[in-house]
Each structure stands twice: as C-alpha cells, then as structure tokens.
Amino acid sequence: MISTKDALKFAIVNPLETILDVKSGPSSVRVRLTYTETKPSIKPSKSVDRNEGLKRRKTGIDKNGLDTVHVELVGNGTGCCNLSLGQGSPSSEESSTGLAELESSECSNFPLKRVNEPCHLVFVYYRAPMYFGGRYLKFSRNVSQTRWIIDDERMGEASIEEIIGGNILPMCQGESYKFHAAGREDIDVRMLGSGRPFLVEVQNARKVPSEALIKEIETRMNNLEGKLVGVKNLSLVTSHSWDLMREGEAEKQKQYCALVWISRPLEDEDLQCIASHKDLQILQRTPVRVLHRRSPLERGKMIHWMKTEQITGSSQYFLLHLCTQAGTYIKEFVHGDLGRTHPSIGSILRCRAEILQLDVTDVKMDCFLAE
C-alpha cells in the first residue's frame, strides 16, 4: 500500500524526464503546488435520502432473547441489494458496524457533474535546511556565544552567532539561519585549542556554495578586524551531523586552564596534592549565579585529572590545568560556591581560592575535526 502522493510521483516522474530531457533523483529542493477552486463545489442535484429505500422489519427473537432485524435496501431502478442481519450473519458485530456506516453515509448519484471553472494555483519553491559544520575559537572575553540583549542593551561587543552566521547566510543567499553549538562558555571565557563544534542551519538557501567558496568565507572570518573569533574545518554537512553533535555533547570531556589565586603562598605539597587526584567525584548544587534560570538540583561530576603550573615571581597565583566531565561548573569547583560544590580547590588546599580567568583549551569530540 502506497500513499496518494507517492503514487502520483511514480506516475509523473517518467513523463517529466522525457519532456524535460533530465534525470530525476533525490534533492533538498522542494516544490509545493496548491490547487484551490475559484468557485464553491456544486453538489449533485439528485440525491438519495438517507433512509429512502431502507426498510426494517422485525423477524423474531433469537435464542438469546434478542430481537432479530431484517434490513433491505430496496432498489429504485438503479439496481438493488439486500443486507440481512440475523442469525445467518457471519458476525453480528461486523453487521452492526456495516449498518451504522450505511445509515451515516450520504448517498449520491454518480458520475459527478463536470467542473469547467479554472482553479487557482499557488506555486511555492523552497529548499530543505542546509547545514554547515565546523569548530569556532573565541579570543575575546567580551563576546557572547549568541546575541545577548537585556533591556534593549547589548551585552558584549559581538556574538559568535552573528559573526559566523552573518558571513555564511549571504554566501548561500538564504532567508535566515539558526546557530547551534555543542555546549557554551561564559562571555568572559575564551575558547582556544581545537575549538568548539558548531552547526549553522540555513533556511531556504538559493545557492549551494562550492568548497572553494566555503574556504574563502572561512579565511575571511579568520582575518576579520579585531580578531574576536576564529573558525576551523568549515564544511557543508548533512542533517545527520546534528544527531552526532548532540550524542557527543553528553559524553564529551573538556579541558581548561584557569588562573587561580589562593590566600596563602603555594607550597610544593600543594602541587603534589592537586596532581594526585584522579577521577575525582564531586557534587555540585546549582550555582548561585545561575539559580534564577536553572532548577535547584545536585549533580555529580568527575574531574579526570589536574595539574598546576607555577607563575614566576608570584607565590599566590598559579595556573590550574584540568580535564572534566561535560557540564562541570569550573568556577564553582575552584572557589566552592559557599560550600555548594564539594570538594573544591579551596577545600583541598584548606584555604580561600578564587578564579581570575578561565580558558577552554579543548573539547573532546570527534565531529568536525580536520581529516
């Protein structure tokens, strides 16, 4: 059993191939034809009353004490048929259903009158969404991932969404775009290393760019004045990449580098203590800074490894390198968030700890890596 749409497609494909001298095949291009009558449909002048020709008569009582009804459709010159309901019926339930359908149906004479009025045709041409994938880098601590407006005031000097999407959209001559990324970083956090995977979904693109043009756009974005954002491995991908990115997002590991201050001089024992923690399980309650938009939950996360790097000439500042499970709040892991994250760097070193700067140095995912 096939749908009417598929049957029509099979019926017209071969004639169209012959007339247009082309071959048909799957494509992201869609053509929608909508036919509308210019005048309302006129019902046939002759109709049969719902109960005309339908007679019932009681024929007796069956062995269960129920009345048996005999129903006849009496012909009126166009032929006749008999529908009997009783002990001889194969299924009383089936017969009752047939009777109900018969009573509720509207009988009409055929063939219907021919329609001579023209119809109104609406022709819509569009393309299924086109996807561009890659990895972005963020070099500024004043650039948000998406457009951020509060009370008509822009937060940050720009957004990754607008920089990347604003360059890709004209290349495709599309109507609009949507920006998707595998996670996000705070506006004051840089994204370095291999970059963060992203997808740009372009709606109704009128042009499919060549590989050369895509590379040209990538180079142009990497050379923009101000050097706020960089792009790696930009390419045209399929919609399946969306599923791959979402699957990898939940399983990914992320590496960070944080500039940390503590309330006492850093000692050699502290370096060894931090490095000794492998696959450290921590509990994090929803941070105070995001409680207004996140549910108050407690989440278990893992710190896979940590190491420290001393800063020459400073005894209370150091760089903390660490690899964590996706979704770990790094800032809160350093200062403890008033005890809402435990353990933390502060509790491990038994002193006050504050994070001054944070960079994402790697996102461990397989998608959109250079071949």
Distance, in Å, from the CA atom of 307 to the CA atom of 15, rounded to the nearest integer, reads 70
Q: Provide the token pair at 281.
A: 């399980």
Distance, in Å, from the CA atom of 169 to the CA atom of 167, rounded to the nearest integer, reads 6
- 3-state SS string for the chain: CCCHHHHHHHHHHHHHHHHHCCCCCCCCEEEEEEEEECCCCCCCCCECCCCCCEEEEEEEECCCCCEEEEEEECCCCCCCEEEECCCCCCCHHHHHHHHHHHHHCCCECCCCCCCCCCEEEEEEEEECCEEEEEEEEECCCCEECCCCEECCEECCCEEHHHHHHHHHHHHHCCCEEEEEECCCCCCCCEEEEEEEEEEEEEECCCCCCCHHHHHHHHHHHHCCCCCCEEEEEEEEECCHHHHHHHHHHHHCEEEEEEEEEECCCCCHHHHHHHHCCCCEEEEEECCHHHCCCCCCCEEEEEEEEEEEEECCCCCCEEEEEEEEECCCCHHHHHHCCCCCEECCHHHHHCCCEEEEEEEEEEEECCCCCCC
Measured CA to CA in angstroms, residue 355 lies from 25, 88, 151, 194, 310 at distances of 57, 88, 29, 23, 15
Distance, in Å, from the CA atom of 293 to the CA atom of 71, rounded to the nearest integer, reads 68
Residues carrying an active site annotation: 186
Distance, in Å, from the CA atom of 210 to the CA atom of 34, rounded to the nearest integer, reads 33
Closest CA to 316 of 236, 254, 251, 260: 260
